[in-house]
Structure 1
Amino acid sequence: MNPSPLKVSSEIGRLKTVLLHRPGKEVENLTPDLMERLLFDDIPYLEVARQEHDAFAEILTDNGVEVLYLENLAAESLTDVFVRDSFVDDFISEARIPGRGTRESLKDYFLSFDPRDMVDRMMAGVRWHEMADARRLSLADKLSTDDPFAIDPLPNLYFTRDPFATMGSGITLNHMRTDTRNRETLFAKYIFENHPRFADCEIPIWFDRDELTSLEGGDELILSPKVLAIGISQRTDAASVETLANNIFRDGQTFETILAFNIPKKRAFMHLDTVFTMVDRDKFTIHPEIEGPLQVFSIKKDGDGLKIEEMTATLEEILKSTLKLDDVTLIRCAGGDPVDAPREQWNDGSNTLAIAPGEVVVYSRNYVTNELLRDNGIKTYVMPSSELSRGRGGPRCMSMPLVREDI
């Protein structure tokens, strides 16, 4: 086995390789009736969303980042007919479709396309009329339904941060909070098992998708080669943090401490990275509401177990002591203004993607926060954001780093 090609030991090391997903027809397959089930508050306009996403990718490539696309890697992982057959079985099974005839018809439909078209159609969802020869074999097949889809679209896929997360030389292959997003992790599973770039490499898995508790990548931050920050949030369970800690400490990686942040369990605070991101060695963006009172726990290895202690200091003091810093600057979303801060927080003003120390990609619409970043010496790469932001995720949410330089 070859060594792992993955290497991420910080949030801010110069970004070398990143995984994105260019929004596809799955976004156009959103309807008002489906939005709650599919975790959207609004429906982005696909043509403009793609233009914005292309601008995002161009910022990255212009700064020397290798951009890989989920849809391409997935298709390149499914060239073997037996692997492709297994993937389709897993994908349909996890969609929890009750009708046997519908399941069989979907399998035949997907396998009638080449791998790249098949992946696009799986991501987009399948409308009933697209599968004209659907077999109605069981009672569940014959029941009338107002649902236009034989299998739901996956519109959250452009948030590549969540289904898996790179940590050190390994990954967490996540168990998502909702069924609608769990199918997303199958793409990562088959990529790392079958893609030529990864299949012959030894890639540790710190958390697997068959765990019973949830963990999502937006709650996983790497503050230094020794310190992780994990959010206990609307989408990530405390038990998952312990599972991750036991596995990653046992493996002999450089990580020594996990800071577990217990953040509010509500939509606007969905993941830790929507309220807290690292922008430089000693600078962080933050939404003021999580400053206090805030529960933070320190988790360290203790023999064969874990030592878990609640930290009672302020957030600044916790970050200074844990990261061995003389000073810490917290850049508050929109300066904490009672009107601007909630508005820009809703549009992910605290969700930045660092491409190097002190250099971050930000949404154009969060102009108050962006000016504060610049006032604090941070270089901002501003991307258009009218449509992508409707999915409630920012530049960090839309990117999964695979390789960063050491800091």
Structure 2
Amino acid sequence: MGADTGSGGNGAHPTDDRSGGVDTRLGVTSEVATLRAVLLHRPGAELRRLTPRNNDQLLFDGIPWVERAQQEHDIFAGVLRERGVEVMLLADLLTETLAVSGAARVQGISGAVDARRLGHHLADELAAYLRGTPAPELADILMAGMTFDELPFAPDAASLVRRMHQGGDFVVDPLPNLLFTRDSSFWIGPRVAITSLALPARMRETSLTDLIYAFHPRFLGVRRAYESHTAPIEGGDVLLLAPGVVAVGVGERTSPAGAEALARSLFDDELAHTVLVVPIAQSRATMHLDTVCTMVDTDAVVMYSAMRDTLSAFTIRREDDYSGRHGSGGVSMRGPEPFLPAAAEAMGIGKLRVIDTGLDGVTAEREQWDDGNNTLALAPGVVVAYERNEMTNARLRDAGIEVLPIPGSELGSGRGGPRCLSCPLARDDT
């Protein structure tokens, strides 16, 4: 069922442990507890759509060598499996979902076929074709897109849209950023949150994630968190610092309104008691909070040294009203104040250990750009990191952190490290 269960000696749970139709293994309460199951997306045909003309619009800094990106991703997935992590692949889950659910087909096609751009005549014709397309082919089209040259029916002389587009123009846009599964969903406690992505090139990703969680048999009965979707928020900006304590970056991708809506939703559902809202620069280099800071142990973070003393936070706390219930207005806010002490206080620890990126300003800037801060914790004190960030990895090891290095020369062309590439589905309770 779209999953590759790794063997290993780390006590991974059984693949199918359900109660009342719900997979009881699913759920995440921290960044560093032992990882049991993860959602990845192996690079595919969608990356072959990137050209020098469209890579900026599609949010890539270069044209990746797809075969090498696949090799690097396979190494990443292999490291996880060797540590007993069950790896689920998005393409497999999507194909299986489309095979078993007509409603999922309707939702996926509706999200991909834009009548406002194609006109109703061409949109209706394409949607009708896609409804009869086998699940594997339909999944490929929803991920990799389709050009006008690839339309499976003869040109219609009456279609102005078709006459005015070049053959290589997209009828269905590709989704090369599916690679970064962290952003379109994240888990908090036993619930999954489907996010609202900010930039046009990524907006449709959530429609695919949404239908997988809604219709795939593995996720039947899973409840949702944060269903507002009124303002942008992306998973790369959300760090689960400790059970009940969430940090949310606000910058290029997540808005203040999105952060506040998420905080109030988590409070209402009793999934968190404290949310730290962390302003970050609205720039490509710091697009998400996890590009400047990730957790590597229960009391330690790896952080871009240039922001260590300047990163701040607004602290939002859930407050009980006089009746003991959590009302929509039952919150307190303070700040801004320095992030590190605010986070330690919210987590109930004396101090957060900080491991700086690099050894000097130039090295730190280079390794931050190459996702040196973007690590994925497999257990407390055990992280996956790109091998190219030699100085940061050495500092992590010197601090007692086990580093599992993976190649990322091609995977990193879309600006994302091991954390960006992964959506944890199940971690042990802390």
* Length-normalised TM-score, structure 1: 0.93
Structural mapping, 1:87-236, within 5 Å: 87-93=107-113, 97-136=117-156, 137-145=158-166, 147-199=168-220, 201-208=221-228, 211-236=229-254
The answer on whether the counterparts of 2:31 and 2:239 sit within 8 Å (CA) in structure 1 is yes
Instruction: Map 1:7-406 onto structure 2 (within 5 A).
Output: 7-80=27-100, 82-93=102-113, 97-136=117-156, 137-145=158-166, 147-199=168-220, 201-208=221-228, 211-253=229-271, 255-302=272-319, 303=321, 304=327, 305=329, 306-312=331-337, 314-335=338-359, 337-406=360-429
Answer yes or no: is the 8 Å Cα contact 2:225–2:269 preserved in 1: no
- Partner AA of 1:63 in structure 2: R
Q: Classify 1:227/1:85 alpha carbon distance in 2 versus 1 (closer, same or farther; 3 Å).
A: closer
Structure 2 stretches lacking a partner, 5+ long: 1-19, 322-326
Deviation at 1:269, TM superposition (A): 0.1
Residues 176 and 215 in structure 1, CA contact (< 8 A), matched pair in contact too: yes
Offset of 1:184 from its aligned partner?
0.6
**Aligned residues of 1:170 and 1:206 also touching (Cα < 8 A):** no
1:234 is aligned with what amino acid? E
In 2: Cα distance, 1:134 partner to 1:223 partner: 55
Instruction: Report the CA distance between 1:383 and its aligned residue.
Output: 0.5
* Compared CA separation, residues 48 and 109, structure 1 to 2 (3 A): farther
- For 1:181 and 1:95, how far apart are their aligned partners in 2? 18
How big is each residue's C-alpha offset from its partner over 1:165-204, in whole Å with a ceiling of 9 and x where there is no partner?
11111122111101221111111211121111112x1413
Call closer, same or farther: CA 1:4–1:299 in 2, change over 3 Å: farther
Compute the TM-score of the two structures, normalised by the length of structure 2: 0.88
Which runs of no fewer than 5 residues in structure 1 stay unpaired?
Answer: none
Structure 1 residue 364 displacement after superposition: 0.9
Partner secondary structure for residue 97 of structure 1: helix
Instruction: Report how many aligned residue pairs link the two structures.
Output: 401
| Secondary structure class of the residue paired with 1:268 | coil
Distance 2:142 2:403 in 1: 36
Task: Confirm or deny: 8 A CA contact 2:294 2:374 kept in the other structure.
Answer: yes
Confirm or deny: 8 A CA contact 1:164 1:171 kept in the other structure: yes
Distance in 2, matches of 1:3 and 1:376, equals 40
Maintained 8 Å contact 2:149/2:167? no
* Cα offset, 1:90, TM superposition: 1.8
CA contact under 8 A between 2:191 and 2:224: conserved in structure 1? yes
Identity within the alignment, %: 39
- Deviates further, 8-17 or 184-193: 184-193
Stretch of structure 1 that moved more, 90-99 or 165-174:
90-99
The CA RMSD over aligned residues, in Å, is 1.9
SS in structure 2 of the partner of residue 406 of structure 1: coil
- Report deviation, 1:96: 5.2
Question: Secondary structure of the residue that 2:409 maps to in structure 1?
Answer: coil
Cα distance between partner residues in 1 of 2:115 and 2:262: 26
